[in-house]
Structures are given as C-alpha cells and as structure tokens.
Amino acid sequence: MICRRSAGFTLIELLVAMSIFAVVAVMAYGGLDSVLKMRKQGDEHSVKLAALQTSFAILERDIEQAVNRSIRDDFGDNKPPMEGDDEALEFTRTGRRNPGGFSRSNLQRIVYGIEDEQLMRASWLVLDRAQDSASASGPLFEEVESIKFSYLDDQLEWQSGWPVRNLSQATAPPPGLPRAIELIIESEQWGEIRRVFRVAGVAPIPPAASGSGGGP
C-alpha cells in the first residue's frame, strides 16, 4: 500500500505565510500613511502660500491707490491722509468698487495692524467718522510673529513713522504721502518676508532705495 501525502499547507507553513503577509501589510500601510501625511502637509503649505500671496496683493492694491485726503476721526479731530508707525498703518485710498452705481464716494479709510498673531485689515466706508461709525475687519494672514512698517520720504530716507515728526509744527509742510512703504513680516513658517510697495502718484523710487535693509 502506497502512502500519499495529502495536498495543502502545514500549520507551520500557514503561520509563516501569515507572518509575512502581516509584515507586508504593515509596511504598505506605513507607506500609505506617509504619503497621505506628505500630501496633507503639501496642501496646507499651498493654502498658506496662497493666503500670503493674496495678502500682499491686497496690500499692494490698497497702497497703490492711496490718496492725499485727510479725515476727521470719531472725535472730530483731523487726521493726515496717511499715518503709521512700525506696527500699524492707516491711510485713505480711492478705487472703492461701486458695481451698483450708487451715489457715494469711491474713497475709504484702511487700517493694517497685527492682532493675535494675525495680519489684520480694517476699512471704513465713511471717511469723516462719527462715534457710531462701524468698520469691517478681518484677518489676511495668520501665524505672524511680528510686522514692521517703514516709510520712504522725499530725501530717500526710511522713516519708522509717518508723517515725519522731526520738524516743528510751525515749519513742517502739510503731511502728504511717502514715496513707498516697506513691510517686513516675521513668520515661523516663512521666516523674514520683505516687500516694498510704491505709492502711486509719487515720484518713482531709485533702485538704491528699494529697501531699508537691503534684504530680499
């Protein structure tokens, strides 16, 4: 009588095969998880980069349309067409859209500043405000550690504030607009970001004055 070995796998062979399959499955899952994480990080990077580019586009549009129009604040005090220090900027701009063709001014007052690690933009539709005049505000860019504005005067010198206040009130000319405004943003993700915005209607900026610190 001939004894034949029955077809199939032994228990040891099955255990070995299952172990190999488990290892392959873990490696495949780990690779897929890494790919998904990298994709998520890439998407987040793209969203933040788009927000940064949009913020600079809005800033450029606002500053390029700055006009020499002073206002009265909530208490009736006169404010110059543009005023600011190293952490805040306020000015009057033209070019307010009016798709409905309503009978109203195309001017508005704009304010930029930092709040809760966000670059904020606020606007008033009324220039000569009353105490109940409301503004519309919102964040442009998040994860901002600090901001610094600088202002290029007619002598091509960068100033930390505007209007320049080193002249006596009696001899100082009426405050106008700087030639350009530089903004430096410190961000944990992007590091130092430096941009210079030319004020339209003011004389062109010589290349030597394109930045206060000569950075990129």
Encode pLDDT of 181-212 as tens digits: 999 999 988 899 999 999 986 655 555 555 66
**What is residue 191's predicted lDDT score, i.e. its pLDDT?**
92
The tens digit of pLDDT for each residue in 86-108 reads 999 999 999 776 666 665 678 89
The whole-angstrom separation of Cα 152 and Cα 184 is 14
Most confident of 10-14, 15-19, 155-159, 201-205: 155-159
Q: Domain 52-209, CATH 3.10.610.10 — does that match?
A: yes
* Mean of pLDDT values over 134-157: 92
Q: Output the average pLDDT for the chain.
A: 80
Look at the block and give the residue holding tokens 């029955």: 6
Strands, DSSP E only, in 51-187? Answer: 71-72, 78-79, 82-84, 88-93, 108-115, 118-124, 136-142, 144-152, 158-159, 180-187
Measure the CA–CA gap between 185 and 55, rounded to whole angstroms: 11
This prediction has a pTM of 0.71
Residue in the structure block whose two tokens are 């005090």? 77
Answer whether 179's CB lies under 8 Å from 198's CB. Answer: yes
How confident is the model over 141-168, as a mean pLDDT?
89
